[in-house]
Copies of this chain bind each other. A is one copy, B any other.
Amino acid sequence: MKKLINNPELVVEEMLEGIVKAHPNYVKQLEGFNVLVRANAPVKGKVALISGGGSGHEPSHGGFVGKGMLDGAVAGAVFTSPTPDQIFEAIKAVNGGAGVLSIIKNYTGDVMNFEMAAEMAEMEGLEDLEIASVVVDDDVAVENSTWTTGRRGIAGTVFIHKIAGAAAEKGMSLREVKEVAEKVIANVRSMGMSLTPCTVPAAGKPSFTLGENEMEVGLGIHGEPGTHRDEIKTADEITTHLVDKILADIDYSNSEVAVMVNGLGGTPIMELYVINKKVNEILAEKGIKIYKTLVGNYMTSLEMAGASITLLKLDEQLKELLDAAADTPAFTQF
């Protein structure tokens, strides 16, 4: 295992310290907890947003804590949902009196731990603490079905952070912010693939092995295998496959979309742009208009080489919120 770390057991703690030292104007850490909140948290009178999940997805989620996006982020062990006590601390720390919305990616562990945190909040009977949550399940690789866990949440989550974050910043109520978040969730779809596995520091070896000509398609962001393995194709072919799967899922025709070409951590940025070129061609051909594009490492899987593509169908409200200013360590726009 080749990693720039000191101790696999302490890597999350050391990372969080490194983040706080790098961005003291943006974030502070709750003492004794693996929780980052805005430097000026709680923001009085504003609906607060928290997110979280396992670590290893950086800059998600700590990198998106700041004005116009999240109020807090809870960091679990690498690829492991954070525990309810940590989440509960985050909720308390960001609560500015207008309620707290948890943005949860649809993994059994994440859902249950956030659920238990909410139960803790209820049990403590905190006055002045209204809570709500949304569950993101943008990954079209997995068929949706009522008798399974359903779809995963992957890179599309960042659009929820951005847009619901802007809604909260605008002064919307908890119910309204939640509605906005749900609208984004209903309209966002993603799918990913990878050329290499990644190694959880504490595991010490890769999660799977791939032949020199193989890739994993339809995989999540936790180093797990995908829905299937295939021979490596060209960037254009891969992009076409991913975009086709997304377009088959909901009707994007005649609509405007936001695009995210997301790197999984070990992908040269050059390659993400090559993919973006093809995404543009495909969408242009289908008459789908691109309103805004993000290209970069937003939701990673440690050092995995691969990419995911996300499309978000926009309406006027979503466009306005997507365009709103944001100022966080990993995403800033005027």
Contacts and interface: CB of A to CB of B under 8 A. Distances in A.
A4 B259 CA distance: 18
A274 B6 contact: yes
A274 to B, nearest CB: 5
A276 interface: yes
A276 B62 CA distance: 15
A250 interface: no
A145 interface: no
A270 B302 contact: yes
Interface stretch (A43-51, A80-88, A147-155, A260-268): A260-268
A273 interface: yes
Given A269-B297, A274-B14, A6 B56 contact: no
Contacts of A23: 293
Contacts of A333: 332
Interface string A268-289: 1111111111001000000000
A268 B235 contact: no
A4 B275 contact: yes
Nearest to A210: B2
A303 interface: yes
A135 interface: no
A32 B279 CA distance: 22
**How many copies of this kind of chain does the complex include?**
2
A269 B59 CA distance: 7
A235 B4 contact: yes
A17 interface: yes
A235 B276 contact: no
Contacts of A302: 268, 270
Residue of A271, A306, A332 contacting most chain B CB atoms (<10 Å)? A271
A137 interface: no
Interface string A1-43: 0111111000100111111011100000000000000000000
Contact of A266 (B14, B212, B235, B305): B305
Contacts of A14: 235, 273-274, 277
A296 B196 CA distance: 21
A165 to B, nearest CB: 16
Contacts of A215: 2
A21 to B, nearest CB: 4
B268 A238 contact: no
B4 A195 contact: yes
A219 to B, nearest CB: 14
Given A21-B276, A277-B17, A4 B303 contact: no
A273 to B, nearest CB: 3
Given A268-B56, A303-B267, A235 B6 contact: yes
A274 B20 CA distance: 11
Given A17-B273, A17-B277, 7 more contacts: A4-B307, A7-B234, A18-B272, A18-B273, A21-B276, A21-B293, A22-B259
